[in-house]
Chain A
Amino acid sequence: MYRKINDPVFGLIELNKVESHIVDTPIFQRLRYIKQLALANYIYPSANHDRFSHCLGVFHLTNRICKVLNKKNNNLLDDFNVRNLKMAALLHDLGHSPFSHALEFHSKRDDFNIDKFPFFLKIPHEEFGSYLIKHSYIKDILEEHNYDVKLICNLIEGNDIENLILSRIINWELDSDRLDYILRDSFFTGVGFGNINYHYLLNSFKCYKNKRIVIDSKAIRDIEHFIISRFSLHDRVYTHKTGSYFTFMLTYSAHYSIINEYFPPFRSKNELNNIISDKDSSKEFLKFSDFYLFNIIYNLYSKFKESTKQDNIKLSRLIETIIYRKKNYKILKYSIFTSKSESETDILKFKIRNLLKDLMEQYPYEIFVHTPKNIFTKYLSTKIPPSDAIDENEEKLKEEKERTIWIQEKNKNPEIFYRSNETFFRKIHEFGITKVLIYLNKDNDDLIKKYKAIESKITKIIFNN
């Protein structure tokens, strides 16, 4: 082993020479300057951990999972596959934008025009990560040491691989990515939900007929604990009422900076490719990070504060919320435990925006609608496919009700986790929290009065649907 890194969550993380070399590249080092949880530190002051340590954690867990599976299944994954999978785990977040997911939400919002965005801000971070690997010197390093760049990029993007087991380890409901962030985010925020016995859980992983990962049914309570932890973290940290408010204002400020070309400092494919082509020039890529964007936003605030234009004054007020952690807006939260899906929430949000359309036109930058992502949705997952049916006789097995977690009792066929008679998830797997957050300029009494006049229509949409 070439290098050992101390990690507060996992202890020592071991890297070989090539992995260490990749970690030392400026493109990877940039992840030190991207906070894992954006502005969650405004609520949980110690939540300052970064994507860098998260990537190392995912890498470490991936290695553990491969060892467990190989031990139980007679070297199921050969050295070639394990090396590439570990590298994919290490590089899986390479393409993250500043403040992590805060900027990524742009492309999903109907009210944000992203035509002027550079291409890398219009695509998912996984796709951008793949792009960086293929067009930078990282590709040369990997190929020189006999890594399969195409395989690594496909694993990162969540595409299916001929060997389905391989893709499941970092793209699954209980994958190394989710496990790490639940443990890490819980630790650094201090909320305590993620105190999972991950050693026991990982050691319960096994393979069924060399086709898919299943979990020993003895770990059923640990699976429940994992899902509840994820749900709790989602509610208390990722979609925290006030945390979401700051993230939303950051997204808005960033959007303004991007469409007016203040950020990022490079925009075209040519510019980007020139920067990432070699180690020296790629130091410029460090500017695509939290501190640089924050600095741009701060400069905008300084400029707008002195302006006499109404829109600029309002913008400065909006930006002020994140510069000085100020609650310039009244935050109204409506949430309900329901069986609404992602699309139903999108439609609900659209209906609410329609209702508030006139107010939003009359008071630009003073009223916003925000619906954070659901958790506990019908599939308990948003990007990963459910496992295939294992019982070949179940021809009419409805795929849309499949779950991704399968458990197996000794000498029996695997079954879908939530179908087990032993778990309370039998009753609640199709439910989750739908949240709607409305932000109103708290100094505008006229706006608040007008909003109150239509609030009952909004609550009817949310609670009666």
Chain B
Amino acid sequence: MSVINIIKFKKICDFLGIETEAKEDFTKRLVLQKLFYFIQKLGIDLDIKYNFYKYGPYSPDLTDIYYSVMNLTKQEFNYFPDITFTKQERIIIDKLNNIYKKWGNDIDKLEFYASVLYIYKDMYIKNTDKEGVKKVVNKLKPKLFSKFNFEEVLEELKFQGFLNLC
């Protein structure tokens, strides 16, 4: 990952206020994983590749970057250039912050929202219509599928600008 993207990652974490909490807390790291999945989907490309895991979309690279950044001292961080986000990027980060406030306390919800989005957008499935996606979500996330209302989740994802569904 480029150093520019590493710096952007750190700045976004600082803004959301979740960086230090995630160091000792696995659940917080999962939150971090999902939030950065969302931010890439909203339009800030940090070149982080995700695949589908037990807890939904996950990136080993992201955890790697997280710990690398956490190990830097403040003095060391001053080595790096100051990055300014564009106006569009700032809008996206604000949006992510709102999503975090809305969904961030419920890791199951975050996981399910991210998983539905991933299956819809990033996984190859044969039937890509709503019923096709629903079937795969049920197959891969049966416990969460019975916990949350799939239709409501789709609507919420659409409302947040992640999906354009008929």
Residues of A within 8 A of B (CB): 108-110, 150-151, 154-155, 158-162, 164, 341-344, 346-347, 350-351, 354, 377-379, 381-386, 388-389, 396-400
Contact = CB atoms under 8 A, between A and B. Distances in A.
Contact of A342 (B1, B54, B122): B1
Nearest to B50: A385
A378 B67 CA distance: 12
Nearest to A108: B2
A116 B44 CA distance: 21
B51 A378 contact: no
Interface residues of B, number: 34
A350 to B, nearest CB: 5
B132 to A, nearest CB: 10
Given A151-B124, A159-B122, A160-B124, A347 B68 contact: yes
A386 to B, nearest CB: 7
Interface string B126-166: 10000000001000000000000000000000000000000
Contacts of B64: 341-343, 377-379, 400
B2 A346 contact: yes
Nearest to A383: B49
A347 B3 contact: yes
Nearest to A461: B76
Nearest to A161: B124
Contacts of B124: 150-151, 154-155, 159-162
A400 B60 contact: yes
Given A159-B122, A162-B126, A378-B64, 19 more contacts: A110-B4, A159-B123, A160-B52, A160-B118, A342-B61, A343-B67, A344-B68, A346-B68, A347-B72, A350-B3, A350-B80, A377-B64, A379-B60, A383-B49, A385-B51, A398-B26, A399-B53, A400-B63, A400-B64
Contacts of A379: 60, 64
A106 B80 CA distance: 20
A354 B55 contact: no
A400 B68 CA distance: 14
A385 B58 contact: yes
Contacts of B4: 110
Contacts of B51: 158, 160, 384-385
A312 to B, nearest CB: 29
Given A159-B123, A350-B3, A385 B26 contact: no
A355 to B, nearest CB: 9
Interface string B2-25: 111010000000000000000000
Given A341-B64, A344-B71, A110 B79 contact: no
